Structure 1
Amino acid sequence: MTDVSEFRITLTVDDFDAAVRLYRDALGLPQLEDWSSDQGRVLLLDAGRVTLELFDEAQAAMVDDLEVGERVSGKVRFALHVADTDATAATLTAAGATAVAPPVDTPWGDRNARVAAPDGMQLTLFSS
């Protein structure tokens, strides 16, 4: 039994408006709260269920090689289960993300694409 009831990721971005356009508007993460004040801007977005996936360096290199062709991601990469990988990648690139690699079919049966958010965060989009 765990005492954890919520897993919240805090992402500090250089361009807040670009991040909102990508994550809330283009990706469609519902806005739960706006706690912005004179001291700073903050939105709480609902990203559905969160799981923590731990990779060792060899696994991270293998996934990067499969999705991109070389080791490119940092210590943190978001992986988002979406209904349509190709359509979501196109929507996000139209909203300011950069395509890192085109969609690929994985050996485990998913369709994956890699994009980078305007802040540089790499996102793996995957659909089954």
Structure 2
Amino acid sequence: MKIHGISWVGSRTSNYQAMRDFAADALGLKVEREQENAVVFGLPDGSALEVFKPTDSDHSFFDHPVAGLIVDDVREARAELEAKGVEFIGEVHDGVEDSWGTAWSHLRAPDGHIYVLISRPALTERSEPVVTKRRFDELRVCLKVKDIDEAVRVYRDGLGMEIVDDWTHPAGQRGVLFGVVPAAVELFDEAQWELVDDAELGRQVSGDHTLRVEVRDVDEIESLAKVLADVGVSRDGEVTQTPWEQNCLRMSTSEGEQLTLFTLPAEERVVREEARSVLSVRPV
């Protein structure tokens, strides 16, 4: 049995609405899944906070927040722990479409508290977590723009990115640095570049770089598109689904900068979130 980490926390509470508001408004967490008796908040590293309503009878034995230990196979891990005398509560539960995990099983540890073993698709699809060997602390992508004030409005007011530094030299040269977490570098060969243009827009667009912004669902694509339109970014079409099951909306700034808002298929999103959680820390 291998424990990959503690990536889930569950809480059943009689103050459900207050706890939901605390997670959403005070902590700023985004709703990842809405269920009949619970809500799941997703965190940037792929982990989750799940808040259960008092009407959720399946978790009536929760009298404190419960931590989830991520394993490859819940049944194998449970059998191994039962052989060591660990007490489990109920049977192994298999997830449904809106479940955060694929399977889980609750246990009582020697401290008297409840914990839960959970398996997830990303961990059953690869044997080992992604390992990074990067030798730097920060990667900066520099873009030359004609109107820096307009560009700032797009990135700050449109995309909601935070300015971490800005400067003006004595002769008037200006620069602005935005903090971006998480981020990724994506490389396409020419054929892939043309394939993406055709799939997202139905035609080829000049240029050798573009910005791609991942959001959670189509509603977020439309919401962000409206915000970007308010700062001068125009839609180049409608939301389309590519053959690789991404929903995409192509937009462009007044200077012709290409911007794609997109969603990932559910399984691919889980894999990316797991990868981001590993890549967030530089190896020693």
Superposition TM-score, scaled by structure 2 size: 0.43
Find the partner of 2:229 among 87, 93, 107.
93
Are the counterparts in 1 of residues 199 and 243 from structure 2 also a CA contact under 8 Å?
no
Larger radius of gyration: 2
Provide the residue aligned with 2:253 in structure 1. Answer: 117
Q: Are 2:153 and 1:21 equivalent residues in the alignment?
A: yes
| Distance of 1:73 and 1:111 partners within structure 2 | 22
Q: Deviations over 1:62-88 (max 9, x none)?
A: 110111001114111111112411211
CA RMSD, Structure 1 to Structure 2 (Å): 1.6
Amino acid at match of 2:182: R
Find the partner of 2:188 among 43, 55, 62.
55
- Where in structure 1 are there 5+ consecutive unaligned residues? none
Are the counterparts in 1 of residues 163 and 178 from structure 2 also a CA contact under 8 Å?
yes
Amino acid at match of 1:127: T
How much identity, in percent, do the aligned residues show?
A: 37
Q: Are 2:201 and 1:68 equivalent residues in the alignment?
A: yes
| Distance of 2:159 and 2:205 partners within structure 1 | 23
Q: Following TM superposition, by how much is the alpha carbon of 1:109 offset from its aligned partner in structure 2, in angstroms? A: 2.9
| Distance of 1:32 and 1:73 partners within structure 2 | 31
Q: Deviations over 1:94-120 (max 9, x none)?
A: 210121221112233322111112222
Provide the residue aligned with 1:30 in structure 2. Answer: 162
Q: Deviations over 1:19-61 (max 9, x none)?
A: 1111111110011112233332211112222222111111111
| Distance of 2:231 and 2:198 partners within structure 1 | 26
- Where in structure 2 are there 5+ consecutive unaligned residues? 1-132, 265-284
| Distance of 2:180 and 2:257 partners within structure 1 | 16
Greater relative contact order, per chain length (Cα 8 Å cut-off, separation 6+): 1
Q: Are 2:145 and 1:6 equivalent residues in the alignment?
A: no
Provide the residue aligned with 1:40 in structure 2. Answer: 173
Are the counterparts in 2 of residues 93 and 115 from structure 1 also a CA contact under 8 Å?
no
Superposition TM-score, scaled by structure 1 size: 0.89
Q: How many corresponding residue pairs? A: 128
Are the counterparts in 1 of residues 213 and 260 from structure 2 also a CA contact under 8 Å?
yes
Amino acid at match of 2:222: D
| Distance of 1:73 and 1:86 partners within structure 2 | 25
SS in 1 for 2:236: strand
Amino acid at match of 2:190: E
| Distance of 1:46 and 1:106 partners within structure 2 | 30
| Distance of 1:50 and 1:4 partners within structure 2 | 14
| Distance of 1:82 and 1:36 partners within structure 2 | 33
